[in-house]
Amino acid sequence: MEERYEFDEATLLSALAIGAPGKRTFFLIIGQKEKWLRAWLEKNLLESLALAIDQFLFTLSREFPSFSRRAAGTPSAENLPSGLPAAELETEEITLGFDREKATLNLSAHASGPQRERRVEVYCRVTLSQLEKLGDQAKSVCAAGRPRCVLCGGPIDPSGHICPKSN
Ligand SMILES: [Zn+2]
């Protein structure tokens, strides 16, 4: 069983995290109008997405000089979704593409919870500035973790930190 969502003019696209520092979980919100999805993903996938977006926009601006990175359409209003998501997903892979002057995001995922075996594919088209904003959000969400120890560079939990460099 495979389910497919298509958002040809996605208006909702953001990267978020919830939870206490060190125990955060990460997700994307993707959608259009009242229909939206919450796609959970591992932090390292979100980090690779941020890098991939940078690379993608850089390549695109070289191949198509008319697409300057900061002038690729106006970002949509930052409206957070209302109500419940149409689906909760566990993201496995994200690929970026380009289609009719818009960027495309393809998510391979499966449903969260008891229906885990259900495969879900998500296809959405966004403006380049939406994509750029997503990249910026992904970077800041990933960087906003636990404070780092100045001695060893390790993360400091709210409960404290046993530093290998100060024994
Ligand atoms: Zn330390």
123-144 tens-digit pLDDT: 999 988 899 999 999 998 888 7
Alpha helical stretches, state H, 75-155? 128-143
Residue 156 Cα to ligand 1 middle (Å): 8
Question: For the whole model, what pTM was predicted?
Answer: 0.81
Residue 166 Cα to ligand 1 middle (Å): 7
Contacts of 19 (CB under 8 A, 6+ apart): 25
24-82 tens-digit pLDDT: 899 999 999 789 999 999 999 999 999 999 999 998 888 877 665 554 444 444 557 88
Residue 148 Cα to ligand 1 middle (Å): 8
Residue 28 Cα to ligand 1 middle (Å): 32
Contacts of 153 (CB under 8 A, 6+ apart): none
